[in-house]
Amino acid sequence: MFNFVLEFNNSIMELNEKQMQILEVAEKLFAENGFDGTSVRQISKEADVNVAMISYYFGSKEKMLDALINYRMADFKIQLESILSNDKNYSEKIEEIVAFVVARIHKNRRTHKIVNFEYSKDSRNINIEKYLQQKDDNYRVIEAFVKKGQKEGVFSKEVNIPLIVPTIMGTYFHFYYNKRFYTALHKLTDEISLDEFVNTTLTKHIQQTIKALLIYAN
Amino acid sequence: MFNFVLEFNNSIMELNEKQMQILEVAEKLFAENGFDGTSVRQISKEADVNVAMISYYFGSKEKMLDALINYRMADFKIQLESILSNDKNYSEKIEEIVAFVVARIHKNRRTHKIVNFEYSKDSRNINIEKYLQQKDDNYRVIEAFVKKGQKEGVFSKEVNIPLIVPTIMGTYFHFYYNKRFYTALHKLTDEISLDEFVNTTLTKHIQQTIKALLIYAN
DNA sequence: AAATAAACTAAACAAACGTTTAATTTAAAC
DNA sequence: GTTTAAATTAAACGTTTGTTTAGTTTATTT
């Protein structure tokens, strides 16, 4: 019996297996139908638990969303730094960073989608500290890397560093949100070939883009 | 008294001023709080009309969303082609295309956001033909432009053409969806400086990116 | 001016919503 | 084995949801 210990709301929240099972179902349904488009009865039915368990375990539907986001972002330790500390050249390092980021957001795409949609709402009062912290951490690592490359004369100094990550993640998500259109364009069919497409073609495109931008921008 | 004539569901839908006023309010609220997060009573209250008018005019809340999307996409004639037909060089043409696309989606960002969020839902049954048609039209124009540049030896042949537009639009939308984070990073404050930022800094970044990609990708 | 059609309204509808209650079963502690 | 706590349940709570009804006002047509 292994529980998932989670720092949350300045206190520690332990998630047992049943809670995690509920969150998995909630993640799927929120990503498919939106937060407001998903009822707690749907979640409880699909997770095979009583409706009251959601309030019992998480307090409310909204607090369950908080728990989900923090649960998914909790293990976002900066593996970037280990990539940047190896002895590859700058071009190879860019490729590794992009491949890592794309694989990561693809794996957590459902929660990212929920955050993207709910985050900008005035009405929603979600606790996205962990998400913002991770975003900031990632940015600082990228910033240091690019500035180092600029100092060594490998990277162009004309690049807008804060907008590099939006280009990486934005390309992925715009593809993902419009996958029905783009998979038709690429003649892809099932979910497996989507994974493959992301890991090969899409990743390669973003790698090319960022390499060209960092090296040749003017 | 000028009405807006709209082709819709294989028939012609005429929108009078009151209907357009309702759609403007609905667009704002849908973009802010989502489709499911917005009630018809909210819309009717803010638009200063009776609740029943929404069913009376559009049939249902969902059909109103259809009407909104088609209303906003209706005037999306391909101005791209006029840009591409002038006598600028390739580099300048890229700049003009990017500036045009960014300005366009920024202007219609609210409806784009709604489409992005509702489009991927299995549960939602929205009619996005106009949107898809416009997407396809735009892609074909871009494709022809890039292939011409490749033939003339100006553009790299290593570029994945279908993924160029996702990079342009994705960069914009990832910035827009996370604007709270990025405006803090850029130390922007009000809505005006956001418009300015999009028209100058963000547009320039995407121009740099696409130019570098098309010319130097390998 | 009378008749017809369109625009608009307040009220009511059933269904679905998130949450709470009170009772019961299961597990842990003593 | 008894007591205490935690987990689980079915039912009910009061709101809010999108939509419809039936009636009234305003505009257009004859």
The per-residue pLDDT for A9 is 43
- Cβ distance of A37 and B33 shorter than 8 Å: no
Residue A162: pLDDT band with limits 50, 70, 90: very high
Of residues A7 and A30, which shows the higher confidence score?
Answer: A30
CB contact residues (below 8 A), chain B span 94-133, against chain A: 116-117, 119-124, 132
Residue A2: is its pLDDT beyond 50? no
B178 contacts on A by Cβ (under 8 Å): 116, 119, 135, 166
A41's CB contacts (< 8 A; 6+ apart) are A51
pLDDT at residue B82, rounded to an integer: 84
Contact list in A for residue B204 (CB cut-off 8 A) is 160
**pLDDT per residue as tens digits for the range B79-109:** 778 888 888 899 999 999 999 999 999 999 9
Element of type H or E holding A127: none
Find where tokens 């259109």 sit: A181
Alpha-carbon torsion, ordered B75, B81, B83, B88, to 10 deg: 180
Through-space separation of residue B58 CA and nucleotide C5 C1' in angstroms: 19
> How many Å apart are CA A55 and CA A9, to the nearest integer?
17
Confidence of residue A7 (pLDDT cuts 50, 70, 90): very low
Q: Do B34 and A36 touch (CB under 8 A)?
A: yes
Mean local confidence (pLDDT), B2-10: 47
Among A67-71, A120-124, B3-7, B117-121, the least confident range: B3-7
**How far, in Å, is the CA of A21 from the C1' of nucleotide D3?**
32
The reply to whether A139 touches chain B by the CB within 8 Å rule is yes
Please write the tens of the pLDDT for every residue from B158-205: 999 999 999 999 999 999 999 888 888 877 666 668 899 999 999 999
Instruction: Out of A48-57, A79-88, A109-118, A146-155, pick the least confident.
Output: A79-88
- B187 to chain A, any CB pair closer than 8 A? The answer is no
* pLDDT 10s digits, B45-84: 999 999 999 999 999 999 999 999 888 877 665 577 888 8
Separation of alpha carbons B110 and B112, rounded Å: 5
